[in-house]
Amino acid sequence: MDKNLIKELADYTHNAEKEKREITKITAELYPELTIEEGYLVQEEVINQKLEAGHKIIGPKMGITSEAKMKQMNVDNPIYGYVFDNMVVNEGDSISIDDYIHPKVEPEIGFILSRDLEGPNVTPLDVLRSTEYVFPAIEIIDSRYENFNFTLPDVVADNTSAAGAVFGTNLKRPDALDLDVVGVTLSINGEIRNLGAGAAVLGHPANSVARLANMLSEKGEKVKAGQPILTGGITTAVRLSSGDYVSAKYGGLGDISFFVK
Ligand code: 0L1
Ligand code: MG
């Protein structure tokens, strides 16, 4: 893929993110033949632009991690992107709806590894043996595309809709819980809007980290110790509005919440 085209497409999604405005998906007109591999080239350029602007990577995130969603999008693999320092929301804090386009939230289980994991052939058992802590999290996704309407290459080029993350501080050792049966309710203003269990994430959230390590190894990269890793939404995402109080309650992992102004 031509370098100028990579830059043009990265500017297209990244400028929309910075200016908080919707754009038509790349594959609609701009470049209909975009492949997933090319989507990652565009994503890499977006990430480099963010790094050059002084932002720092906090950790990777996995997306499209439910079997139903993968089937719907006709893919065998989930996708990954990156959470940056300017996306982090502290537990109990407020976000302003004006800082986003059309944000949604999804509850996730996060991992912190005690050692780097390098694929290929990383297994969920390798992940669990290398996990220092698991923790509750809420991801804020905010696709830059109109109505969250995109193909898989489009969403990869858009850093997998990454826009915010609340990392819960209730850290647990991975052997303290059966993560596949950890339940979660996602409530808005005290009303349960969605619920699910850890198994919704590729059967077990450790599978998601293993898949991440194996996908990154295709680029000669690894999952790094100490970085918080978002493993993917346990429920479908819920749209936010000004005035919302968002809370996620986990069996065995506590609660996390934040406000929307
Ligand atoms: O984190 C996610 O699972 C979202 C990936 C991108 C799909 C979306 O924006 O709905
Ligand atoms: Mg997510």
**Using CB atoms within 10 A of its CB, is residue 76 exposed (0-12), middle (13-18) or buried (19+)?**
exposed
Count other C-beta atoms under 10 Å from residue 30's C-beta: 15
Class in CATH terms, 3-260: alpha beta
Output the six-digit token pair for 258: 């934040």
Strand partners, 105: 140, 238
**Using CB atoms within 10 A of its CB, is residue 219 exposed (0-12), middle (13-18) or buried (19+)?**
exposed
CB contact set of 180 (below 8 Å; sequence gap of 6+): 197, 198, 199, 203, 204, 205
Q: Report the pLDDT value the prediction gives residue 248, as an integer from 0 to 100.
A: 98
Q: What is the CA radius of gyration of the chain?
A: 17
Question: What distances in angstroms separate CA 79 from CA 35, 40, 151, 155, 226, one per listed residue?
Answer: 13, 9, 12, 9, 21
Residue of 147, 155, 159 to test ligand 1 pocket, by largest number of atoms within 8 Å of CB:
155
Residues in the chain: 261
Task: Please tell me the residue having the least CA distance from ligand 1 atom 8.
Answer: 161
**Nearest listed ligand to the Cα of residue 78:** 1
Query: Tens place of pLDDT for every residue, the chain, 261 residues?
Result: 999 999 999 999 999 999 999 999 999 999 999 999 999 999 999 999 999 999 999 999 999 998 777 877 778 889 999 999 999 999 999 999 999 999 999 999 999 999 999 999 999 999 999 999 999 999 999 999 999 999 999 999 999 999 999 999 999 999 999 999 999 999 999 999 999 999 999 999 999 999 999 999 999 999 999 999 999 999 999 999 999 999 999 999 999 999 999
Q: Separation of 132 CA from ligand 2 center, angstroms?
A: 21
**Nearest listed ligand to the Cα of residue 139:** 2
**Using CB atoms within 10 A of its CB, is residue 241 exposed (0-12), middle (13-18) or buried (19+)?**
exposed
Q: Report the pLDDT value the prediction gives residue 74, as an integer from 0 to 100.
A: 79
Cis status of the peptide bond prior to 120, with omega within 30 of 0: yes
Q: Separation of 161 CA from ligand 1 center, angstroms?
A: 6
Q: Which ligand 1 atom minimizes the distance to the CA of 162?
A: 1
Distance CA 185, CA 257 (A): 12
Q: DSSP for 36-54?
A: HHHHHHHHHHHHHHHHHTT
Residue of 64, 67, 109 to test ligand 1 pocket, by largest number of atoms within 8 Å of CB:
64
CB contact set of 166 (below 8 Å; sequence gap of 6+): 88, 89, 90, 91, 137, 138, 140, 256, 258
Output the six-digit token pair for 125: 């058992």
Amino acid at position 240, single letter: L
Pocket-forming residues, ligand 1, beta carbon under 6 Å: 61, 63-64, 139, 141, 143, 148, 155, 160-161, 232-233
Closest CA to 149 of 29, 25, 66, 39: 25
Domain-wise residue ranges, the chain: 3-260
**Nearest listed ligand to the Cα of residue 106:** 2
Closest CA to 64 of 164, 179, 181, 202: 202
